[in-house]
Structure 1
Amino acid sequence: MVDTPAPSAEPLCATRFVTIHGHRRAYVLAGRPIGTAPVVLLLHGLACDHHDWDPVIPELAADYTVLAPDFLGHGESAKPRGDYSPGGYANGMRDLLTVLGIDKVTVVGHSFGGAVAMQFAYQYPERTERLMLVDPGGLGPEVTVLIRALALPGYDLGLRVLTLPGVRQVNTGALRLLGRLGGRATRDLGEVASILDSFKDAGKRYAVHKLVTGVIDVRGQNVSMRDRAYLTEAMPLCVVWGADDRVLPASHAAVASALAPKARVVVMPDAGHFPHKDHPGEFAGLLTDFIASTRPATYSRARWRRLLRSGGTAPELAPVDVATVQGEGA
């Protein structure tokens, strides 16, 4: 059952709910009515929620149908014991689209949401018109130690201590104060504070731990688009990175450029791990131009079969300076 109040009575980014497989899923549906405009599916990152997209939704809603869900285990969605893998999340996005009557989307994924977006495009190419990856996971093993720590056995006790009443307010206040300093190394600490505050929810702590242990091991990220990057030949691809990202290094943008030479790769200066929040107008313009300047992919089983049979092998990548792709495609 879908709970969708009358659009005229809702603010633009009102949260709606639908129950699928017995679990409540939260989402925002904004902009043009379904069936009258291209649909943009916005997938948030690890331990975040759909509010990460609030700065860009109003501008995108003028021209598109915009769908921004909360992943299971995040935001206002249910937090069950279940499958928190990229493949599981991709299945969940397919089911949500089906329930809402949406056939095809341009999928935009940030951070871990980028890994889910890649997985969605791989599993459901017939439903993916374009793919935009924003500081995505899956392009190299490097990842901040803060995320690696979430995979450690004592993660729950540590987070419970950090989010105790009083302790939580001190920690988040200090992080937000440092974030307001505006330095390259501290730019995203305000976002880290919001994530830390949300870990007071035991269900979210469990979900994020399950998620992280599935995609990160002692050597870093263990999920990769490298062996399947050749499949992006069948689909328009844009990769956006913040030059000052301290969570996933901007050098991964050069990896994307080498793996998918036809992709549009843009490194945004003066932006961290959340370029869509640092520069929402520029980001929305970049996405709008990407949609306007590319034809939506059309799925051909024969073409997909030829690509799979070609077995595009992952190349040995020479070091590539991120400056070689900075600003490209802007």
Structure 2
Amino acid sequence: MASYSRQPEITMQDVDGVMLRTAYWPGSDGGELPLVFFNGIGANLELTLALGDMFPDRAILTFDVPGVGLSPVTQWPYRHWMAARWARKLSDRLGFGSVDVMGVSWGGALAQQFAFQYRNRVNKLILCATSSGMTMIPGRPASLSKMVDTRRYTDPDFMRENFAKLYGDAADESAGDHIHGLRPPDPKGYFYQLLAFAGWSSLPFIRFLKMPTLVMMGDKDPVVPLVNGQILTWALPDARLHVVEGGGHLFIVTRAAETASVINSFLGERAGNAAQAA
């Protein structure tokens, strides 16, 4: 497993009666806004440990949704607006005001929901390998069928053999770190994530997301094809598209240095939504 110079503080937090395993990286005094990060479906926070080194001066917040990682599954299903509210309450506890928001895959949908509910607090938005929701253009059937196979969480050899077919990325050393960091989600928790996505779309409210937005997509992504990023870029009022050439669904893992460079450059540009409002 890779070692990282910045390690998060990991705690269990009770939010609205829901226990959430939360990771928090304190920031430096450089004036950078905190970053709220939303992970992909079934992805535990151990898979986010590289964030501290990718964004070395920022305070960062992320958490395991119920039934993922070590967050207990809820008794009842939840919706995206509820998970966005949990994130806002966790942000409040840490004293965050304006924030930048980033989401990957399933977490990209949650990032859009958060940006809509709390748009006066969101400075910039980063959407990676994601879509507008159930209105998306689907990926390859061969990859999608592998996505629902629970062996990708429990059998490292299965994951290594099928990594390229699943995600469109080569199973190199960085992929190995991802594979060994996986924790199998609770089956009911995984179903609740799928259920939260069912019927959800950002298209009814996407024109309200006026903050500068970076959409990053891999042109070899078999799960969320590039056209979904093009739709997002067209629909968002202030968005740009960056295509990771040769990148698959997990380019944030397999092309971490390139991804971090593009995002840090975007975050370092002109003031975003929250600063303009202030």
TM-score (norm: length of structure 1)? 0.70
Which of the numbers 38, 59, 71 marks the counterpart of 2:33? Answer: 38
**Aligned counterpart for 1:213 among listed residues 180, 195, 199:** 195
Assess, with a 3 A threshold, how the Cα gap between structure 1 residues 64 and 268 changes in structure 2: closer, same or farther. Answer: same
State the 1:295 CA deviation: 0.9
Gaps of 5+ in 2: none
Cα deviation for residue 175 of structure 1 reads 2.7
- The separation in 2 between residues aligned to 1:188 and 1:136, in whole angstroms, is 21
Match of 2:117 among 114, 123, 148: 123
Identity score, percent: 18
Given candidates 211, 217, 223, the residue that maps to 1:247 is 223
Residues 188 and 272 in structure 1, CA contact (< 8 A), matched pair in contact too: no
Whichever of the two has the greater Rg, that structure is 1
Provide the C-alpha distance between the structure 2 equivalents of 1:263 and 1:122, rounded to a whole number of angstroms: 15
What letter is aligned with 1:22? G
Change (3 A) 1:136 1:83: same
- 1:141 is the counterpart of 2:136: yes
Deviations 1:225-260 (A, max 9, x none): 22222212x311111111111111111121122213
Deviations 1:133-183 (A, max 9, x none): 111132533335589779xxxx8xx85xx599xxx54xx41331343x799
Task: Determine whether 1:292 maps to 2:276.
Answer: no
Determine the C-alpha separation between the residues in 1 that align with 2:29 and 2:96: 7
Paired residues in the alignment total: 268
Counterparts of 1:208 and 1:275 in 2: how far apart (Å)? 22
Match of 1:228 in 2: 205
Distance 1:260 1:83 in 2: 29
TM-align CA RMSD: 3.5
Q: 1:15 to 1:256 in 2, by over 3 A?
A: same
Match of residue 47 from structure 1: 42
Q: Quote the residue 1:4 is aligned against.
A: none
Query: Against the structure 1 CA distance between its residues 230 and 178, is the aligned structure 2 distance closer, same or farther, given a 3 Å change threshold?
Result: closer
Deviation at 1:261, TM superposition (A): 5.6
The correspondence of residues 179-328 of structure 1 with structure 2, limited to 5 A, is: 179=163, 185=168, 187=170, 194=179, 198-199=183-184, 204-216=186-198, 222-232=199-209, 234-260=210-236, 262-298=238-274
Counterpart check, 1:109 vs 2:96: no
- Superposed displacement of residue 300, structure 1: 9.3
Do the aligned residues in 1 keep the contact of 2:41 with 2:190 (CA within 8 Å)?
yes
1:226 and 1:65 map into 2 onto residues whose CA distance is: 30
Q: Distance in 2 between matches of 1:91 and 1:105?
A: 14
Q: Does the aligned pair in 2 maintain the 1:111–1:136 contact within 8 Å?
A: yes
Q: What letter matches 1:79 in structure 2?
A: V
- Residues 30 and 65, structure 1, Cα contact 8 Å, conserved in 2: yes
Q: 1:174 maps to what in 2?
A: 158
The answer to whether the Cα contact below 8 Å between 1:121 and 1:131 also exists between their aligned partners in 2 is yes
In structure 2, relative to structure 1, the CA distance for the partners of 1:176 and 1:163 (3 Å cut) is closer
Q: What TM-score do the two structures reach when normalised by structure 2?
A: 0.81
Give the counterpart letter for 2:254 in structure 1: D
Structure 1 segments unaligned to the other structure (5+ residues): 1-9, 217-221, 302-330
Aligned pairs for 1:8-27 within 5 A:
12-27=7-22
* Larger relative contact order (CA 8 Å, sep ≥ 6): 2
